[in-house]
């Protein structure tokens, strides 16, 4: 009976649960789902990690390539994130070119990386104006069950902290590149950004770490990213309005979670 | 003769295009955008919603093709419009919001959002509230200000969108890193800025 | 976008054709009269807004360095890209090429690129390695017929206005100088070609210049003639279904040649004016970039003021007179008295009385003269009708808000209770 009720009146179903201060998956409003991180999962990539937030699963792989820097920024390397949402991860995605949502999330991840300055692009320089590293950071979502950005950022940090770049020698006189695959070294990761997603249900209840179902039914989403003690992104792309107090409360709550996740990443690495 | 709302200059004109149902050209400082609204119009079958109007947003940069970053802005503007419209009044229709950049000298997103709101008002779309966006900058001395001194480096940038009834935050978009206190201060400052914008909207509509 | 194109009804068609048979057009223009052209430049180099009657487009020129084509190693590249923005008409789709946009693009290319108006060799930095690629993006903002003419004027004016950064070489390295270091370099333009479009009705019986949207839809065919100021033909395209005698084409082309001369003259004058403005401002503040605030409000001014849309009632004039009227703005201000009324003469025998509510203070704002640097200019705001009943909306959402607040307290209480437990 509950099944039919849920599919006929999904919002009402949720309201009934939330009125009792509990979510259908048994969590309280401010509880997050278990997080799992596995690093170095893919041999062929220069750095990789799999992160699981509840059911949401994201694989992150880093591939490094050598390229020439832009003339206006001769010392800067490149970091190109890309999130793929294949039909595999949720029935709402179709095969073909990246959907709008994938593009929006990719941009959000790129913004977070830039704002948190976790990678200094100058570190990726091998020889000024001639040779720099270009890191392709690819995310593939295997299971799309809400709070994808959280999972992406956890897997990103896992992958970045384990990524090793081969040693490259460049001779500017001969334009000769020698790559030593054996001798590898880590990329310097300057900070650990941690993202927390909230969903606003019915303009009043704020749910932490929402599932896909909750994200679909709710009226607004908020993503807060902490970098150590500083905020580096408070992203709320429209949706139901929040008061300043509610917003501050969300920020406070995400700060607590930041510590746990940071410890998780450090332990995994 | 009072024209200057916060320290930036806003000027605008409604109904400047003949084809769209509502249009507005808005410039804040040197940044200028045109927004146009069609709606409610016929909807594509894929995007048909049986209980409300679907909102589509298109943003065009003035040169080159729209990139991934523009997609993010599109989604922000679409979400804001979706929240503010009484979309359930027009089921099985679409409301198209199009924004064209004319000149970019900073605070482009907030300018685009404000132009969208004025265009909606011009088009006579039923709205729950008006919205206005304010861009707030923070320099390396941690001072906050609402207008960008061109050429100066900024440590962080905030864009907040408020509703007109209770001045709650509909959307927030940030760049750079900052502390929680600075964030709250920026919200306060922007809230003052948005009041000026709503007064300006009313003046525009009354005239 | 899904919206279907508006279909022209048979009555509209018949009405238009019947009017043509009586030698009148729906907007009161003579058959070879064009709508007024306004050209405005933005703050950036190569940014230009052109309106032709109610049709308006925005053109922006940009440049980048790339490798030349192997077939032409010493030539730069010119790319034209016309974008039918969904702003311009609801059936235009964003970011997708339609038959119309491909056709317009090709016609524009024929006129500007294939006529070798731009000196591409001057864009070469190093043979076989580095050349400038110039890209012209044309965004159609409002579609009220004859995009092609409007776009060709905009593209040409933007190219003529554009300046690329200077590049120097010290043997191996190339240095791109920014605007502060060295003055940017204007394009080398050999000649100024523009497109001039005519609509053909009844197999050549009626040929009308600068068709509006309705006229375009009803016409049997359209003829687009690319011409430069020296009356040289730079492109000719006859689309649609009409057999025209060569004589007719030639006579139309010679009429168009005069028009081309006038347009090119207008473009040059506007660029001259823009340069003057920049120079003057430069003397005041000694920097180029900070000054050009003016152009923004210029853009706004360019956008429809209600009187350009008003019908001009011209009597039929001889050709020479008409040509003349293209050049001179038909609005002649008789006087601008201080008692809040403006008399505007609209063509022959028609005068409009426009009340100006200057003393009201809300209707018109003017530039505050006190500070010259700031762009305090505000434009008269035209609201055709009050759209939203603000009061209603307000009360509505307040009610909502009350419930929300209560709810909030409830949840808070719940949380507290939980904490107590």
- Domain coordinates in residue numbering, chain A: 1-31, 32-268
**Residue C202 DSSP code:** G
Give residue C340's region: left, alpha or beta (phi > 0; psi -120 to 50): left
Inform me whether the C-beta atom of residue C418 falls under 8 Å from chain A C-beta atoms.
yes
> Using CB atoms, which residue from A21, A29, A71 is nearest to C176?
A71
Nearest to A203 among C174, C404, C415 (CB): C404
Distance from CA of C47 to the nearest CA of A (A): 23
State whether C33 and C163 are in the same domain: yes
The three-state (H, E, C) secondary structure of chain A, written as one string: CHHHHHHHCHHHHHHHHHHCCCCCCCCCCCCCCCEEEEECCCCCCCEEEEEEECCEEEEEEEEEEEECCCCCCCCCCEEEEEEECCCCCCCCCCCCCCCHHHHHHHHHHHHHHHHHCCCCHHHHEEECCCEEEEEEEEEEEEECCCCHHHHHHHHHHHHHHHCEEEEEEEECCCCEEEEEEEEEEECCCCCCEEEEEEEEECCCEEEECCCHHHHHHCCEEEEEEEECCEEEEEEECCCCCECHHHHHHHHHHHHHHHHHHHHHHHHHC
- Which residues in chain C are contacts of B34 at CB distance < 8 A? 87, 141
Count interface pairs A-C at CB distance under 8 A.
Answer: 17
pLDDT in tens, B50-78: 888 999 999 999 888 888 889 999 999 99
pLDDT on residue C385: 44
Residues in chain C: 421
CA distances A144 to A91, A149, B168, Å, are: 9, 11, 30
Q: Residue C316 falls within a domain, yes or no?
A: no
Q: Does residue C183 carry a pLDDT above 50?
A: yes
Q: What percent of chain B has pLDDT over 70?
A: 93
Q: State the sign of the Cα–Cα–Cα–Cα dihedral B144, B150, B152, B157.
A: positive
Res. C378: pLDDT tops 90? no
Lowest mean pLDDT among A119-123, B85-89, C56-60, C302-306: C302-306
Taking CB atoms and an 8 Å limit, are B60 and C297 in contact across chains?
A: no
Scanning C161-190 for CB atoms below 8 A from A yields 174, 176
CB-count burial class (<10 Å; 0-12, 13-18, 19+) for B46:
exposed
> Helices marked H in C121-206 — which ranges?
147-161
Residue C118 carries which DSSP code? B
* Range C331-354 average pLDDT: 42
**Segment C199-230, tens digit of pLDDT:** 999 888 899 999 999 999 999 999 999 999 89
Q: What chain A residue is nearest to B155 in terms of C-alpha separation?
A: A115
**Pick from B115, B116, B159: which is nearest to B136 by CA?**
B159
Q: Which two tokens stand for residue B30?
A: 């040197």
Measured between CB atoms, which of B11, B100, B103 is closest to C85?
A: B100
Contact C174 A71 (CB under 8 A): yes
Please tell me the distance from the alpha carbon of residue C173 to that of residue A129, in angstroms, as a whole number: 10
Residues of B in contact with A107 (CB under 8 A): 68-69, 71-72
- Residues B52 and A22: their CA atoms lie apart, in Å, by 30
Q: What is the DSSP string of B24-70?
A: EEEEETTEEEEEEEEEEE---GGG--SSS-EEEEEEE-SSS---HHH
For C213-227, give one letter per residue: b (16+ CB within 10 A) or e.
bbbbbbbbbbbbbbb
Band (pLDDT 50/70/90 cuts) for residue B149 is low
Contact B83 A115 (CB under 8 A): no
Instruction: Give the CA count within 13 Å in the CB-facing half-sphere of A184.
Output: 12
Contact A105, A152 (CB under 8 A): yes
Burial class (CB in 10 A: 0-12, 13-18, 19+), C400: middle
- Among C60, C289, C378, the residue with its CB nearest the CB of B3 is C378
Indicate whether C48 pLDDT > 60: yes
**Helical ranges in C46-204 per DSSP H:** 99-112, 147-161
The residues in B 87-116 lying below 8 A from A, measured between CB atoms, are: none
Nearest-CA residue of chain B relative to C377? B11
Residue C346, Cβ neighbours under 10 Å: how many? 17
Minimum CA–CA partner of C365 in chain B: B1
Interface of C with A in 18-77 (CB under 8 A): 65
> CB distance from B171 to chain A under 8 Å?
yes
- Predicted local distance difference test score (pLDDT) of residue B151: 54
Question: Can you tell me the distance from the alpha carbon of C387 to that of C312, in angstroms, rounded to the nearest whole number?
Answer: 29
Chains A and B form CB pairs within 8 A to the count of 106
Q: In this structure, what token pair is assigned to residue C220?
A: 């049997």
| Residue span of the structural domain in which C153 resides | 10-309
ipTM: 0.86
Q: Give the three-state DSSP class for C279.
A: helix
Closest alpha carbon to A198 in A185, A188, A208: A208
C-alpha C77/C-alpha B44 separation (Å) is 39
C332 belongs to a structural domain: no
CATH fold, domain A32-268, is Ribosomal Protein S5; domain 2 (3.30.230)
What pLDDT, on a 0 to 100 scale, did the predictor assign at position C174? 78
CA dist., res. B186 & res. B183, Å (int): 5
Q: Residue C29 domain-assigned? A: yes
Any idea where the domains of chain B sit in the sequence? 10-206
Across the range A152-169, mean pLDDT stands at 91
Distance CA A80, CA C96 (A): 26
Structure tokens at A250: 């969300």
Return the SS3 of B179: coil
Helix (H/G/I), strand (E/B), else coil: B133: strand
Interchain pair B174, A115: CB under 8 A: yes
- Contact yes or no for A235 and B173 at CB 8 A: yes
Is C362 close to B102, i.e. CB distance below 8 A? no
Quick one: C397 and C300 in the same domain?
Answer: no
Residue of chain B with shortest Cα separation from A112: B175
C305-330 mean pLDDT: 40
The verdict on residue C334 lying in a domain is no
Comparing CB atoms, the residue among C86, C142, C380 nearest residue B58 is C86
What local confidence, expressed as pLDDT, does residue A199 receive?
Answer: 93
Taking only residues 131 to 170 of chain B, the set having a beta carbon closer than 8 angstroms to any beta carbon of chain C reads 150, 163, 165-166
Q: What is the pTM of this model?
A: 0.79
Q: What gap in Å lies between CA B122 and CA B118, rounded to an integer?
A: 6
The better pLDDT of the pair A66, C300 is held by A66
* B26 dihedral zone (left: phi>0; alpha: psi -120 to 50; beta): beta
pLDDT of residue A178: 85
pLDDT score at B3? 32
Overall average pLDDT of the C256-284 stretch: 83
If DSSP codes are grouped into helix, strand and coil, which group holds residue C65?
strand
Q: Is the pLDDT of residue A71 over 80?
A: no
Cα gap A196→A262, rounded to integer Å: 12
% chain C with pLDDT above 70 = 66
Is A236 in contact with B177 (Cβ distance < 8 A)?
Answer: no
- What secondary structure does DSSP assign to B100-112, as a single string? EEEE-SS-HHHHH
Element spanning C4, H or E: none
Please check whether residue C405 touches B, CB under 8 A.
no
Q: For residues C301-322, give the mean pLDDT.
A: 39
Q: What is the pLDDT of residue C158?
A: 94
- Length of chain B equals 207
Q: What are the structure tokens assigned to B48, written together? A: 């048909």
Q: Which CATH number fits domain B10-206: 3.40.640.10, 1.10.260.40, 3.40.50.1820, 3.30.230.70?
A: 3.30.230.70
Residue A211 has pLDDT above 50, yes or no: yes
Q: Is the pLDDT of residue A139 over 60?
A: yes
Mean pLDDT of chain C: 73
Looking at residues A234-251, what average pLDDT do you find? 90
Q: Tell me how far apart the alpha carbons of residues A89 and C221 are, in angstroms, rounded to a whole number.
A: 52
Query: What are the pLDDT digits (tens) for A73-101?
Result: 888 999 999 999 999 999 989 999 999 89
Nearest to B172 among A229, A235, A248 (CB): A235
Contact C90 B32 (CB under 8 A): no
Question: How far from C156 is each of A82, C61, C266, CA to CA, in Å?
Answer: 39, 10, 12
Note the pLDDT of residue B38. 92
Interface chains of chain C (3 or more CB pairs under 8 Å):
A, B
pLDDT value at C344 more than 90: no
Cβ under 8 Å to B: C residues 304-363: 304, 309, 361-363
Contact yes or no for A71 and C411 at CB 8 A: no
Dist. CA B196–CA B4, nearest whole Å? 9
Residues B44 and C2 sit within 8 Å (Cβ to Cβ): yes
Return d(Cα C201, Cα C18) in angstroms, integer.
Answer: 11
Q: Kindly report the CA angle at A249 between A243 and A252, in degrees rounded to 5?
A: 145
The values of phi and psi at residue A147, to 5°, are 50, 45
Q: Is C180 on the interface with B (CB under 8 A)?
A: no
Measured between beta carbons, which residues in chain C are less than 8 angstroms from residue B60? Answer: 83, 85, 87, 94, 139
Give the Cα separation of A21 and A13 in Å (integer).
Answer: 13
pLDDT in tens, B100-117: 998 887 788 999 999 999
What is the average pLDDT across B183-194? Answer: 89
**By the CB < 8 Å criterion, does A97 face chain C?**
no
Give the nearest chain A residue to B163 (CA atoms).
Answer: A241
Q: pLDDT value at position C419?
A: 54
Q: Which of C309, C331, C350 is the last residue of a domain?
A: C309
3-class DSSP assignment, residue C102: helix
* Residue C176 belongs to domain with CATH number: 3.30.230.70
Cα–Cα distance measured from residue B63 to residue C81, given in angstroms and rounded to the nearest whole number: 9
């Amino acid at each position: 009976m509950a099944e039919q009720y849920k599919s006929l009146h999904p919002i009402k179903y949720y309201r009934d649960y939330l009125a009792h201060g509990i979510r259908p998956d048994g969590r309280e409003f401010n509880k997050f789902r278990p997080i799992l991180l596995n690093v170095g999962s893919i041999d062929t990539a220069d750095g990789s990690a799999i992160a699981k937030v509840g059911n949401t699963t994201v694989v992150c792989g880093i591939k490094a390539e050598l390229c020439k820097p832009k003339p206006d920024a001769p010392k800067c390397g490149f970091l190109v994130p890309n999130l793929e949402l294949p039909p595999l991860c949720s029935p709402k995605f179709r095969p073909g070119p990246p959907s709008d949502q994938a593009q929006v999330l990719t941009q959000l991840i790129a913004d977070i990386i830039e704002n948190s300055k976790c990678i200094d692009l100058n570190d990726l320089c091998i020889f000024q104006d001639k040779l720099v590293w270009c890191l392709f950071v690819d995310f593939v979502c295997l299971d799309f069950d809400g709070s994808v950005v959280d999972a992406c950022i956890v897997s990103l940090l896992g992958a970045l902290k384990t990524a090793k770049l081969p040693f490259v020698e460049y001779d500017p006189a001969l334009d000769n590149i020698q790559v030593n695959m054996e001798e590898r070294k880590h990329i310097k990761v300057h900070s650990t950004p941690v993202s927390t997603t909230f969903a606003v249900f019915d303009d009043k209840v704020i749910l932490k770490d929402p599932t896909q179902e909750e994200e679909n039914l709710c009226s607004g989403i908020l993503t807060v990213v902490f970098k150590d003690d500083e905020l580096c992104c408070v992203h709320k792309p429209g949706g139901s309005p929040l008061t300043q107090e509610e917003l501050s409360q969300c920020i406070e709550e995400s700060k607590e979670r930041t510590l746990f996740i940071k410890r998780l990443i450090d332990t995994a690495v | 003769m009072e024209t200057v709302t916060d320290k930036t200059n806003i000027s605008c004109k409604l109904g400047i295009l003949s084809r769209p149902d509502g249009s507005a050209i808005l410039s804040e400082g040197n940044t200028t955008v045109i927004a146009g609204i069609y709606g409610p119009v016929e909807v594509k079958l894929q995007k048909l919603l049986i209980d409300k109007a679907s909102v589509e947003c298109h943003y065009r940069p003035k040169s080159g093709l729209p990139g991934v970053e523009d997609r993010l802005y599109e989604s922000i503007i679409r979400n804001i419009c979706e929240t503010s419209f009484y979309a359930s009044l027009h089921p099985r229709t679409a409301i198209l919001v199009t924004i064209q950049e004319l000149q970019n000298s900073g605070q482009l997103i907030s300018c685009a959002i404000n132009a969208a709101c004025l265009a909606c008002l011009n088009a006579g779309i039923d709205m729950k509230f008006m919205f206005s966006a304010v861009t707030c900058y923070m320099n390396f001395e941690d001072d906050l200000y609402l207008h960008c001194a061109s050429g100066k480096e900024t440590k962080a940038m905030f864009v907040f969108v408020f509703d007109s009834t209770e001045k709650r935050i509909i959307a927030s978009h940030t760049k750079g890193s900052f502390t929680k206190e600075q964030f709250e201060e920026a919200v306060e400052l922007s809230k003052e800025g948005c009041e000026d914008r709503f007064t300006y909207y009313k003046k525009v509509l009354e005239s | 976008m899904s919206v279907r194109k508006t279909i022209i009804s048979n009555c509209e068609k018949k009405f238009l054709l019947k009017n043509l048979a009586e030698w009148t057009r729906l907007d009161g223009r003579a058959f070879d009269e064009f709508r007024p052209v306004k050209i405005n430049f933005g703050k950036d180099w190569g940014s230009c807004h052109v309106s032709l009657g109610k049709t308006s487009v925005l053109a922006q020129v940009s440049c980048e360095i790339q490798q030349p084509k192997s077939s032409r190693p010493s030539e730069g590249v010119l790319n034209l890209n016309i974008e039918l923005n969904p702003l311009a008409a609801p059936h235009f789709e964003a970011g997708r090429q339609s038959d119309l946009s491909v056709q317009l693009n090709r016609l524009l290319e024929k006129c500007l690129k294939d006529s070798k108006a731009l000196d591409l060799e001057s864009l070469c930095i190093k043979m076989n390695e580095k050349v400038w690629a110039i890209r012209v993006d044309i965004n159609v903002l409002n579609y009220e017929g004859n995009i092609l003419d409007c776009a060709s004027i905009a593209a040409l004016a933007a190219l003529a206005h554009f300046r690329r950064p200077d590049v120097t070489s010290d043997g191996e390295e190339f240095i791109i100088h920014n605007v502060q270091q060295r003055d940017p370099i204007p394009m080398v333009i050999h000649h100024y070609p523009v497109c001039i479009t005519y609509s053909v009705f009844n197999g050549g019986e009626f040929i009308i210049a600068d068709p509006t949207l309705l006229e375009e839809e009803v016409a049997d065919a359209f003829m687009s003639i690319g011409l430069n100021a020296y009356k040289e033909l730079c492109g000719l395209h006859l689309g649609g279904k009409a057999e025209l005698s060569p004589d007719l084409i030639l006579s139309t082309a010679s009429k168009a040649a005069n028009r081309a001369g006038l347009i090119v003259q207008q473009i040059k004058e506007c660029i001259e004016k823009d340069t003057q403005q920049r120079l003057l401002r430069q003397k005041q503040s000694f920097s180029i970039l900070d000054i050009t605030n003016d152009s923004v409000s210029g853009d706004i001014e360019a956008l429809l003021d209600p009187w350009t849309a008003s019908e001009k009632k011209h009597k039929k004039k001889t050709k020479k007179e008409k040509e003349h009227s293209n050049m001179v703005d038909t609005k002649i201000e008789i006087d601008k008295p201080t008692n809040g009324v403006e008399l505007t003469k609209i063509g022959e025998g028609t005068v409009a009385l426009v009340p100006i509510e200057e003393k009201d203070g809300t209707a018109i704002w003017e530039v505050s003269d006190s500070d010259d640097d700031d762009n305090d200019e505000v434009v008269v705001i035209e609201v055709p009708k009050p759209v939203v009943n603000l009061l209603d909306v307000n009360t509505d959402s307040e009610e909502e808000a009350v419930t929300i607040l209560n709810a909030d307290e409830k949840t808070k209480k719940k949380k507290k209770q939980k904490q107590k437990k």
